[in-house]
Structure 1
Amino acid sequence: MILDTPTTEMISLNSGNAKIKVDTFNKRIKILQLTGDLKELLQKLKPLIEEHELAKIFYISLEEDIEKFKEQGFIMEAKIDNFLNGKSGYFLSKFLTTKRKMSISIPEEEEILIKAREYIDEKYYYPMDKKFTIKTAEEDDVFKMTQLYNEVFETYPTPLHDEKFIKSAINNDVLFKLILWDDKIISSASADMDSRYLNAEMTDCATLKQYRGEGLMGRLIYELEEALKKTNYKVLYSMARAISPGMNIVFSKHGYEYGGRLINHCHICGQLEDMNIWIKKL
């Protein structure tokens, strides 16, 4: 699992500036902040796009900014209520190639979504077999965590193979919960907390193949939620592989609502995949 770490850059504009994240592995740019003219920013991004063969630009917008992005070819792929300090966040994307805009998996993904939604009114809690131990990740766990992620994912959108990356995450508002069996980490998930906007992404979900079906991931999501309920966070969300029945069912079981689908958004398990957005208000 080898990939380039995304880089953050500041772009100076005549009317202000922009902060962007350049993700060469996932072949995309995320606009993090924009105080200047969008059309001017897009012009300035062209050399960067050509150099790295980037194919998607996305931005999480307030409702009042949607129209100016649509005028520049962005479309809305998802919406999360209460995402930006209580205000709705709209996931807007501009596809730079026809190939990046097209997904051949939509029919199968729709079947999976229908199946997942059958669980939405259920209430689940996962008691764990005594052979398993659950804990909050610490720096001493990092090497074993990289082993887990390398075994589960051929590729992953963020560098979870890198011990330095995980250590930095643990020390910067990312809460990992782990399940161990016989001192081996067999399942992991995290909450990536945004203290500025009071939302948290439930992510980095992985369970070794031989331990799936034990309800481990559901229990980790439950543990992360319990920890976040003690804070002032307003909303939880997750990007689940649209082609993965298991993860979509897990979030539906836990009361998350479907918020949209990001097409060809993440390079995971060896290819670009569509990601379903699931949302839960606290």
Structure 2
Amino acid sequence: MNQTASTIFLEEVSYFLEVYLDPFNKRIRVDDYRGKTKLLIEKVEELVLVHKAEKLIVKVRREDYFTFLEKGLQPEAVVDGYFLGSDAHFFSKFYTPERKKNDHWIIEDGMVHSIYQLDTTDQKPFPPKEYELRKADQSCAGDLAALYQQVFQIYPTPLHDPEYIKKTIKDGTIYYAFFYSGKIVSAASGEVNYFYKNAELTDCATLTEHRKYGLMKIILQELERELKRKGIYCAYSIARSLSFGMNAVLFQLGYSYRGRFMNNCFIYDKLENMNMWVKNLANC
């Protein structure tokens, strides 16, 4: 099967579907839909069979919650205000026994509990003056790709490819990065859905030797400011459930835990669970 991810649009008399085919992560995600819910679920399950997907994810509107439950899908996470202020419930279904098994769940429950005990007193980190925060443009694509190659052995999207990064910037994704001696040492992006007015803060990476200065926190705050300037107040981020540091950063920035995706994607060095964190930027 082709390993390149793609978005397809299916329009019939009774329904419309926007589907993200993700062969690398062996999953299919429904990003948008309208029309006859039961019919479109049947169509999506056909796609699962054709593409041999192991996991299906659907961003479900509140009014369709019980319809998807009845069809054998289960809620894994929620994003408050995702659809122009209305919540999105992320439902999933698994198609192989292996994809539904996980040894880390209890450990990750304990980690979320311990993160909620952390001090959230506003400590403004000040990195040394050698660190310069800038918005990254297409000319930075090579440096960004090099950073992601160093930090992530495996990543769910092709961020190791500068051409892919250039395309995401062209399509409206915002990148901010810290430069040290002319080299990018920390970066993150805001993937914006301009139609539904939400953004995923993602692609967070800092080189190990530069992690003591709280660079990621500063980058995410800068991204939040940019989103607010664009009138986007629904921000969410999906962090590796085994990464205490990244989950702690989001909690200390005022994000709330909203669920966990089991065996969601290949990242870092294996198939991992991912935690959902959500923040209403209008409140800050």
Work out whether the TM-score is over 0.5: yes
The corresponding residue for 2:172 is 173
Partner Cα separation in structure 2 for residue 217 and residue 195 of structure 1: 24
Report the 3-state secondary structure (helix = DSSP H, G, I; strand = E; otherwise coil) of the residue aligned with 1:114.
Answer: helix
Segments of 5+ residues of structure 1 without an aligned counterpart are: none
The corresponding residue for 1:259 is 258
Q: Does 2:14 correspond to 1:15?
A: yes
Amino acid corresponding to residue 269 of structure 2 in structure 1: G
Q: How does 1:165-204 map to 2 (within 5 A)?
A: 165-204=164-203
Q: What are the Cα deviations for residues 182-234 of structure 1, in whole angstroms up to 9, with x where unaligned?
A: 01111110111111111111100001112122211111111111222222112
Kindly tell me the number of residue pairs found equivalent between the two proteins: 280
The corresponding residue for 1:222 is 221
- CA shift, 1:10, in A, is 2.9
Identity %: 35
CA contact (8 A) 2:38 2:67 kept: no
Partner Cα separation in structure 1 for residue 31 and residue 235 of structure 2: 19
Q: How does 1:270-281 map to 2 (within 5 A)?
A: 270-281=269-280
Q: How does 1:39-118 map to 2 (within 5 A)?
A: 39-45=38-44, 48-118=47-117
Partner Cα separation in structure 2 for residue 62 and residue 120 of structure 1: 34
Q: What are the Cα deviations for residues 106-157 of structure 1, in whole angstroms up to 9, with x where unaligned?
A: 1211222122212364323222211111100011111111111011111111
CA contact (8 A) 1:120 1:256 kept: no
Partner Cα separation in structure 2 for residue 196 and residue 146 of structure 1: 28
* Greater RCO, 1 or 2 (C-alpha within 8 Å, sep 6+): 1
Partner Cα separation in structure 2 for residue 46 and residue 83 of structure 1: 24
- CA shift, 1:102, in A, is 2.1
The corresponding residue for 1:249 is 248
Report the CA distance shift for 1:166/1:123 in structure 2 as closer, same or farther (over 3 A).
Answer: same
Partner Cα separation in structure 2 for residue 171 and residue 118 of structure 1: 40
Segments of 5+ residues of structure 2 without an aligned counterpart are: none
Amino acid corresponding to residue 166 of structure 2 in structure 1: K
Partner Cα separation in structure 2 for residue 64 and residue 46 of structure 1: 21
Deviates more, 1:45-54 or 1:205-214: 45-54
Amino acid corresponding to residue 146 of structure 1 in structure 2: A
CA contact (8 A) 1:13 1:40 kept: no
Partner Cα separation in structure 1 for residue 278 and residue 51 of structure 2: 32
Partner Cα separation in structure 2 for residue 260 and residue 66 of structure 1: 16
RMSD of aligned C-alpha atoms?
Answer: 1.8
Q: What are the Cα deviations for residues 61-98 of structure 1, in whole angstroms up to 9, with x where unaligned?
A: 11101111111111111112111111111111111122
CA contact (8 A) 2:84 2:197 kept: yes
- CA shift, 1:12, in A, is 4.9
CA contact (8 A) 2:239 2:274 kept: yes
Report the CA distance shift for 1:120/1:74 in structure 2 as closer, same or farther (over 3 A).
Answer: farther
Report the CA distance shift for 1:187/1:159 in structure 2 as closer, same or farther (over 3 A).
Answer: same
The corresponding residue for 2:134 is 135
Report the CA distance shift for 1:229/1:39 in structure 2 as closer, same or farther (over 3 A).
Answer: closer
Partner Cα separation in structure 1 for residue 81 and residue 42 of structure 2: 32
Partner Cα separation in structure 1 for residue 22 and residue 197 of structure 2: 24
Partner Cα separation in structure 2 for residue 267 and residue 37 of structure 1: 33
The corresponding residue for 2:235 is 236
Amino acid corresponding to residue 103 of structure 2 in structure 1: I
TM-score by length of 1: 0.93
